[in-house]
Amino acid sequence: MRVLIAAAGLLVASSVYAQEPITLRGMGSFHIGGRIAEVKGKEPRMIQRQPGGPVSKLDPNGQFMVEQMYVQYFLPQNRKGKLPLLMWHGGGLTGATFESTPDGRDGWLNSFIRKGWDTYLSDAVERGRSGFASPEVWSGEPTFLNYQDPYERFRIGDGGGSWNEDPAKRRPIPGTQFPVEAYDNYMRQTVPRWLLTDAPIIAAYTALVDKVCPCVLLAHSQGASFAFKVAEARPDKIKAIVGVEPATAGVVANAGKLKDIPVLIVFGDFVDQHPRWATFKKIDTEYANAIKAAGGTVDWINLPDIGIKGNSHMMMQDKNSDAIADVIQKWLVAKGLGD
């Protein structure tokens, strides 16, 4: 991107696609959360840090900073959102989910900055530029997504068996909006994740909320389940939640804590035909009903019902992603949170 300093602020040219430049009054990044972990009783070993370099002792014992989270922020010159907007990505992914699409279009990050939102984009603990921990601190091993998994599981391909190593033989869901020709670029975004790190992830997100909120959460998949749990712990700090295909929700017994927080849940196409996503939809429905039973409000949008069809689980990267961003923006404005 081209960045120019202008009298009005930072002028950021968006991408190779023709759009109005983004003018910022500020941008930056920080790390938040984390803890000091101490390792004791491990045997040192000799290592060579660079080929041909000296051999030296590596002592695995001592104090280490772990579980810190990386956050970027972008502050538009023409601010229209009344609160910061925090974007939380899904499992096996990073904040790159929202930055741009696999086929090179602007992502929701730029879209919502253009709509006037102070936007905070993070990499969850153990993803991207955030911290993780050694096996001496964390139990378990990281998990990795093979090439086939997201294609079939995220409703890009037409169910089990739709993947093929030969792109010409793959079977995308008919009418899919995902840019299947750029699937390789999507897979370049994927990263390993651990299965036992929910607590430190939630701790870092809570620290972020404590730092920058009151705010609005825009959260995808696994990130949406974290958003609900953080809202249960900080209901006074969260003023709205947009859950994009939440992969599980919060704790039903705690759902009443969200009674004063407007919630929007968005699901794409082909959901009911896929057992995995039909199950998540049922879980999310139970949680939404518990919020409403406590006197809260939950709006639910199935995109095909409003004429937006063909969307995968990665709807912020689908070819009609701008139309979905507009739906979310309209809801936020209707709730009095933006202009």
What beta strand segments (E) does 171-281 contain?
A: 215-220, 238-244, 263-267
**pLDDT band at residue 10 under the 50/70/90 scheme:** low
**Cβ-based neighbours of 82, under 8 Å, separated by 6 or more:** 336, 337, 338, 339
pLDDT at position 13 over 90: no
Tokens representing 66 are 């772990």
What's the structural domain count of the chain?
Answer: 1
Q: Is the predicted pLDDT of residue 174 greater than 70, yes or no?
A: yes
Report the range of poorest mean pLDDT among 6-15, 106-115, 250-259, 325-334: 6-15
In a domain, 253, yes or no: yes
pLDDT band at 139 (very low <50, low <70, confident <90, very high): confident
The better pLDDT of the pair 289, 7 is held by 289
The predicted model gives 262-289 an average pLDDT of 96
Residue 261 lies in a domain: yes
What mean pLDDT do residues 201-227 have? Answer: 98
Task: Read off the amino acid at residue 200.
Answer: P
174 exposed, middle or buried (CB, 10 Å; 0-12, 13-18, 19+)?
exposed
Confirm whether 176 is domain-assigned. no
Greatest CA separation found in the chain? 68
Mean pLDDT of 135-148: 91
Domain membership flag for residue 224: yes
Residue 80 domain-assigned? yes
Question: Which H, E and C letters describe 72-136, residue by residue?
Answer: EEEEECCCCCCCCEEEECCCCCCCHHHHECCCCCECHHHHHHHCCCCEEEEECCCCCCCCCCCCC
- What integer best gives the mean pLDDT of the chain? 93
Percentage of residues in the chain with pLDDT exceeding 90? Answer: 89
- This prediction's pTM: 0.93
Indicate whether 158 belongs to any domain.
no
C-alpha to C-alpha distances, 333 to 115, 214, 329, 336, nearest whole angstrom: 11, 16, 6, 5
Instruction: Answer yes or no: is 146 within a domain.
Output: no
pLDDT at 14: 45
Average pLDDT over residues 225-247: 98
Domain range spanning residue 275?
A: 27-35+66-140+188-334
Tell me the pLDDT tens digit for each residue of 27-70: 999 999 999 999 999 999 999 899 998 999 999 999 999 999 99
Q: What is the CATH number of the domain that holds 125?
A: 3.40.50.1820
Q: Are 335 and 297 in contact (CB under 8 A)?
A: no
Lowest average pLDDT, out of 17-26, 156-165, 200-209, 257-266, goes to: 17-26
Q: Does 3 reside within a domain? A: no
Q: Which of 44-48, 221-225, 265-269, 287-291 shows the lowest mean pLDDT across its residues? A: 44-48
Query: Hey, how many other C-beta atoms are within 10 angstroms of the C-beta on 38?
Result: 10
